[in-house]
Amino acid sequence: MKNTPQKYRERFVLEDLSIQESWRIFRIMAEFVEGVEGLCKLYPAVAIFGSARTRPDATYYQLAETIASMLAKEGYSVVTGGGPGIMEAANKGAMEGGGISAGLNIQLPHEQRPNPYATVSLNFRYFFIRKVMLVKYAVAFICLPGGFGTLDEFFEAVTLIQTHKISPFPVILVGSEFWKGLIDWITKTILKEAMISPEDMSIFHVLDDPKQVVDVIKKAVPLEKDLK
């Protein structure tokens, strides 16, 4: 194309880009299909989020493991991002509790290592598809201490509930000491400036006790055995 006139070179580039974008749509569709087929049997699932950097000897790792085990014994599936840290702890607890332990791994430039405790494992290329799958098949979100990814999942859930794009479900921040700064900022800045309504604060809970976490979920989403 070295001696090809400029307008033809531009046309070739645009056509090539169009083909690439078309194939990207098919990849997106395929990933949605794979996600639906792999996760539709998880209901009722509780999604647990938290830092991938949390070590097994850390208090929050053990807390995530305990909560997931309790949920599994009650009959809930547990789904995580499939990686290490809090995700690993939750998958481990769910597996040891005899429940379905699902991990939705994401492809990253520095490859995320899938943890060995997910009995159902899927790999996603696109973050937004994984987020859709997590919301679609979860009856509750639990966020333990984490970074940007955990905050992203938390605010995604509360925004969808606030705007009535999904039916309300429990969104629980575990670790009041860790989340205190965020809650203070939301209360003293966002709420004070009337950028959210007072009732929006009831969309989520801040808890420390694993039993309270499980009780909130059981009350909001009771299983058949609890209705008898």
Q: What is the pLDDT of residues 19-45, one digit of tens each?
A: 677 778 888 888 878 878 878 888 899
Shared domain for 61 and 138, answered yes or no, is: yes
In the sheet that holds 120-124, the strands lie side by side as: 120-124, 101-106, 77-80, 45-49, 138-143, 171-174, 204-207
What distance, in Å, lies between the first and last C-alpha atoms of the chain?
74
Shared domain for 29 and 48, answered yes or no, is: no
- C-alpha span between 197 and 221 (Å, rounded): 25
Shared domain for 7 and 56, answered yes or no, is: no
Structural domain total, the chain: 2
Q: What is the pLDDT of residues 170-183, one digit of tens each?
A: 999 999 999 999 99
Shared domain for 47 and 140, answered yes or no, is: yes
Q: Is residue 76 a part of any domain in this protein?
A: yes
Q: Centre a 10 Å sphere on the Cβ of residue 224 and count the other Cβ atoms it contains.
A: 7
Domain of 68, CATH number, reads 3.40.50.450
Packed helices 148-162 and 127-136: angle between N→C axes, nearest 10 degrees: 50
Shared domain for 67 and 163, answered yes or no, is: yes
Residue 14 has pLDDT above 60, yes or no: no
Shared domain for 25 and 122, answered yes or no, is: no
Q: Is residue 228 a part of any domain in this protein?
A: no
pLDDT given at position 216: 97
pTM: 0.86
Shared domain for 107 and 36, answered yes or no, is: no
Higher pLDDT, 21 or 185: 185
Shared domain for 30 and 57, answered yes or no, is: no
Shared domain for 51 and 154, answered yes or no, is: yes
pLDDT given at position 68: 98
Q: Is residue 35 a part of any domain in this protein?
A: yes
Q: Is residue 227 a part of any domain in this protein?
A: no
Structure-token match 């696109």, residue found = 126
Shared domain for 9 and 58, answered yes or no, is: no
Position 182, amino acid? L
Q: Centre a 10 Å sphere on the Cβ of residue 39 and count the other Cβ atoms it contains.
A: 21
Shared domain for 114 and 94, answered yes or no, is: yes
Tell me which residue range forms the domain holding 105.
41-222
Shared domain for 35 and 61, answered yes or no, is: no
Q: What is the mean pLDDT of residues 129-152?
A: 93
Q: Is residue 180 a part of any domain in this protein?
A: yes
Contact 73, 97 (CB under 8 A): yes
